[in-house]
Amino acid sequence: MTTIKDVARVAGVSVATVSRVCNGSPSVKEETRRHVGEVASRLSYAPHGAARSLITSRTSTIGVLLPDLYGEFFSEVIRGIDQTAQHHGYHLLVSSSHDGRPAIEGALRSMRGRVDGLIVMWPEMDAEIAVRNLPAGFPVVLLNAPATPDAFDVIMIANFDGARAMVCHLLDLGHTRIAIIKGAAGNVDAAERLRGYRVALAEAGATASPELEVAGDFTEESGFRATRELMLGEARPSAIFAANDAMAIGSLSALREAGLRVPEDVALAGFDDIPMARYLEPALSSVHVDISALGERATLRLLAAIRDKDGHQPRAETLPTILVLRRSCGAAFPASRPTATDSEPAISTIPLLRGAL
Amino acid sequence: MTTIKDVARVAGVSVATVSRVCNGSPSVKEETRRHVGEVASRLSYAPHGAARSLITSRTSTIGVLLPDLYGEFFSEVIRGIDQTAQHHGYHLLVSSSHDGRPAIEGALRSMRGRVDGLIVMWPEMDAEIAVRNLPAGFPVVLLNAPATPDAFDVIMIANFDGARAMVCHLLDLGHTRIAIIKGAAGNVDAAERLRGYRVALAEAGATASPELEVAGDFTEESGFRATRELMLGEARPSAIFAANDAMAIGSLSALREAGLRVPEDVALAGFDDIPMARYLEPALSSVHVDISALGERATLRLLAAIRDKDGHQPRAETLPTILVLRRSCGAAFPASRPTATDSEPAISTIPLLRGAL
DNA sequence: CGGGAAAATGTAAACGATTACACAGAAACC
DNA sequence: GGTTTCTGTGTAATCGTTTACATTTTCCCG
């Protein structure tokens, strides 16, 4: 492995000059620059990242801490982060699948000296504590984290608004018995979506009854089980709102198995609007979240914090959601069929989209 | 940011002792160990990664170079890699979306000194050249790369076998005019799948006719366009084999738009068996690839190479595929309906699965 | 109590880069 | 021609660790 010394020796100059050439310092004679450059590429020299960042104390890398990498949600977040980071000359150091605080803290400390900043996604309620004892002033952006009294930058999804809008829509369609399949316990997104559901009901004068709120954990299978449970209950709901699409998919299977038609017998709606939603039969109504935009926003915010380490003011941003109505909720419009041209719904300020998406 | 010196000063010992405590060296008095450990955690000290890897020349990080992060395929690969790496105490440094050789080479050199080894996925035919001028002996595993005369470790998918098996199956069903929607030009996977298609036809005594081989680029939209083109031609195919599932989805839309029923009027099959395939209407027959296993294998291979830097013998591995028959290809079996219990098809040596998956 | 072995700790040289500062030679000025 | 000013280049300190080696402390035994 060739080092800067090798290049210096072969080129017959000092290491300082080689360094200057590599970093495009203006105070190098054109002739020297050419010569050194030649030698460097002949020896296929590449500066040693660790050595460089040790002295410059910049790594051009941002760390990403995720609960998991499974499913379309996380991969989309990563994509959004990566694209933005890439574009600004940053790498991504990814770390996922940690269970519990000690694991998170371990991951956090192992990133010391390897990253310039962190994007942490940890929707568990107690995650923020782990982040607290990071060195003060270390750039961090939280994703979907519990409300943090402006100590950190936070990017959130409009979980509450989205859920409320969807339930309102179901109410408008005339449903009175609307069930919810809840998300994982202790998860912020889940809690907010539940709150949206309850408020929507309350606003309509309906009272939330406990037997209409069944537990789930964001997995397809939990949606399946929850729906079975609901259907065994005495007062069947006429509509089901699943706290995410994966559970809605499970729910759909359970409904089919029970011989119930969607939306004629039971209306169904999800949350997230993963790409698969449009391809289900019937196409799934959902609350669209521009997930990769979530990653992008977080990255931009983090880069800003890295650049302006002192003057940076933490703030909370909320990413709006869009109600996407398809057949499964029973809204009155012709059966939608996916076409190859509508690759992805456009993000806009329009809060409601119907049909072909 | 506290350094090892701070800890040493506060604890009243030398930096060497602190270092020994941190790395669990046996030659430290129990009392000292406790005391230093206490101070360290009180000051919330974490070793500086760059400094450490500069001297130890190990980074506990593996670099991953991908063409893109979009779609279920890549996110699954990453997941497979991450889980395995995580499990062995390694981090992931991800870099994607580079166009052309200069960009790849830039990405490669920028990883010098940051990673212990590389997993490179670059199905373009000329990618291997870029990897060639890495420092000799640097651990690299190639994913889906063009055949490399055992200079590198390579993990491949059984593209040829899978495609041939699928086309054979279509032939068995009685189809004589089978079209293929080809993958991106210059892509190894695409080339191999095409070869499998041609060989299957040849073996059946059928001659491949050029108008049945239409261009595509692995995107949903290209599948849509390609199918339109096919249906406008004079001799319509009775079956379409798309070189990946995304294109099959596009194809399905085009067929619907043309008022053709699948599989009654036209049989359809894809490749990859992405999760969405089972949820299409009709469920899509496909060639299943255990994508995350691909990542896992690559990682294990890389870790082996890292451990045994000198003795390591490069080798090529091929990951088998499984034929998954669902409704879209018209095989005779009852209409499948996804249930919540078959979350993912089990990998087995059984080369053919029918039905409910 | 002295001395040698063993155990525990300290000292200092790496690792590979960047960069403030010193310094040499050339050009510019009076 | 001698000082001054530039322009390039070299010297050496520095970043935060690890670790070979030197040194000190502890312990045991005669």
Residue-wise pLDDT for B258-284, tens only, equals 999 999 999 999 999 988 898 888 999
Three-state secondary structure of A214-245: ECCCCCHHHHHHHHHHHHHCCCCCCEEEECCH
3-state secondary structure of A187: strand
Q: What is the pLDDT of residue B101?
A: 76
**Helix H segments across chain B?**
4-11, 15-22, 30-42, 49-56, 71-87, 100-110, 127-132, 159-172, 188-203, 220-232, 245-257, 291-307
Residue type at B129 in one-letter notation:
I
- Contacts (Cβ under 8 Å, ≥6 apart) of B170: B178, B239, B241, B267, B269, B329
Residue labelled with tokens 């391809």: A279
**Nearest CA-CA partner of B284 in B209, B345, B226, B212:** B345
Q: Is residue A254 a contact partner of residue A282, using CB atoms and an 8 Å limit? A: no
B residues 264-303 near A, CB within 8 Å?
A: 275-276, 279-281
Angle between helices A291-307 and A71-87 (to 10 degrees): 40
Q: What is the pTM of this model?
A: 0.87
At B190, list the tokens.
């695409």
Q: How confident is the model at residue A127 (pLDDT cuts 50, 70, 90)?
A: low
Tokens, residue A318: 């909320």
Are B92 and A94 within 8 A, CB to CB? Answer: yes
The CA–C1' separation of A2 and C11, in angstroms, is 30
pLDDT band at A114 (very low <50, low <70, confident <90, very high): very high
Nearest to B354 by CA among B334, B341, B340, B339: B334
Task: For residue A11, give the nucleotide whose C1' atom is nearest its CA.
Answer: D9
Count the Cβ atoms, other than its own, within 10 Å of residue B110.
19
**3-class DSSP state for residue B2?**
coil
Largest CA distance in chain B: 88
A223 touching chain B per CB within 8 A: yes
pLDDT digits (tens, 9 = 90+) for B48-104: 999 999 999 999 999 999 887 677 778 889 989 999 999 999 999 998 877 777 888
B135 contacts in chain A (CB < 8 Å) = 1-2, 44
Please report, rounded to whole angstroms, the spatial distance between the CA atom of protein residue B20 and the C1' atom of nucleotide C9: 10
Other residues' Cβ atoms within 10 Å of the Cβ of residue B10: 16
DSSP, collapsed to helix, strand or coil, labels residue B252 as: helix
Q: pLDDT, tens digit, for every residue of B1-32? A: 899 999 999 999 999 999 999 999 999 999 99
Mean pLDDT of A186-212: 92
More confident residue, A137 or A345: A137
Average pLDDT over residues B109-125: 89
Sheet (strand B286-288) strand order: B286-288, B322-325, B352-354
- Interchain contact, B50 vs A50, CB within 8 Å: yes
Best mutation site among A56, A72, A94 for testing chain B: the one with the most B CBs within 10 Å?
A94
β B213-214/B178-181 pair status = parallel
Across the interface, whether the CB atoms of A93 and B91 are under 8 A apart is answered yes
Nucleotide with minimal C1' distance from the CA of A5 is C16
- Nearest nucleotide to the CA of B5, by C1', is D16
Note the pLDDT of residue B146.
78
Mean per-residue pLDDT for A252-267? 94
A15 touches strand D (CB under 7 A): yes
